[in-house]
Amino acid sequence: MSRIAYVNGQYLPHDHAEIHIDDRGYQFGDGIYEVVSIMNGHLADQEWHLDRMEYSLSELNIPMPMTRAAMKIVIGNLIRMNKITNGLIYFQITRGVMRRDHAFNAMLKPQLVMTAKTLPRLSKQMIDPVKVITVPDQRWQRRDIKTLQLLPNCMAKTKAMEKGAYEALMVDHDGLITEGSSSNAWIVTHEGELITRPATYDILSGITRKAILDIAAKRNLKIVERGFSVEEAQNAAEVFVSSATSLVTPVYMVDDVKIGNGDTGPVALALRQAYFDHVRALAAE
């Protein structure tokens, strides 16, 4: 079965889904995106992803391409047409198409592209811990907006892959970890505190991060939103990363320093399992 993509009102075979060469997303990265995972046929936190999409658009003065309700219909159609049970929906909205010029015309029609793909079913119980490296954070100062401009993230992730690591954690001028190239970063201290950087302009406010914070609060875990250094991470009881595609993924090594005995920690495992239950509960609402 060939994959079907959505491009500005049309459902097209994925290989023939095209956009104009004057699209500002293509030329300037002038647009935003979202990734929503589909777990056992359920969309994970769709409403929060749509909230963040609206936030990113409004921070960049890009209008919504269609109503939120219409977008949900397109998302549902793509899941059905591509017969996805486990996988993800990707959508991006760019400012529009115009003759190349840095300054944009405020009247452009936003362009919406949506794709869907199947991924192997993620396991609730079993997850091999991963290795991460650290790199300087070279991004702009509005990392809270989920823009298409991902070159520093792409460079960082490629460096991680070259070093046989799963993710690159980015480090700011003060030596504190901001987040992963496509994930949020967490540590658990030896006192059992769950630490993650506060959601300011410095990081993307991850939807998985938000769900984990809710779950952790319900479990009465002590949560502290603050920055932490590479050294603190290397000496922590647990380190893990979170994202729509990684969910909660434990880390066993940060820059060649092993975390604890290298096994998946109990907090990361419990949060991963609880995240699955959270998505299932949402679907039942």
Ligand X SMILES: Cc1ncc(COP(=O)(O)O)c(C=O)c1O
110: burial class by Cβ within 10 Å (0-12, 13-18, 19+)? buried
Please report how close the Cβ of residue 139 comes to ligand X at its closest, in angstroms.
Answer: 8
Q: Are 172 and 220 in contact (CB under 8 A)?
A: no
Minimum gap (Å) between residue 212 Cβ and ligand X: 9
CA 33 to mean position of chain CA atoms: 10
| Smallest gap from residue 179 Cβ to ligand X (A) | 5
Cite the beta strand spans of 70-183 per DSSP E: 87-94, 111-118, 130-136, 167-171, 177-180
Spatial distance between the Cα atoms of 259 and 198, rounded to a whole number of angstroms: 23
Q: Which residues bind ligand X (CB under 6 A)?
A: 35, 153, 179, 182-184, 204, 206-209, 242-244
Please count the other Cβ atoms lying within 10 Å of the Cβ belonging to residue 192.
12
Catalytic residue flag (residue 83): no
Spot the catalytic one: 146, 157, 210, 218.
Answer: 146
DSSP state of 14: G
CB of 103 to ligand X, least distance (A): 27
Query: Quick check: 267 and 211 in contact, CB under 8 A?
Result: no
**Rounded CA gap, 41 and 68, in Å?**
20
- Per the structure block, which two tokens stand in for 279? 């998505």
Q: How many CB atoms lie within 10 A of CB 14?
A: 13
- Please say which residue, 184 or 249, places its beta carbon nearer to ligand X: 184
The dihedrals phi and psi of 31, each to the nearest 5 degrees, come to: 180, 180
CB of residue 60 vs ligand X: minimum separation in angstroms? 16
Q: Which residues form the catalytic set?
A: 146
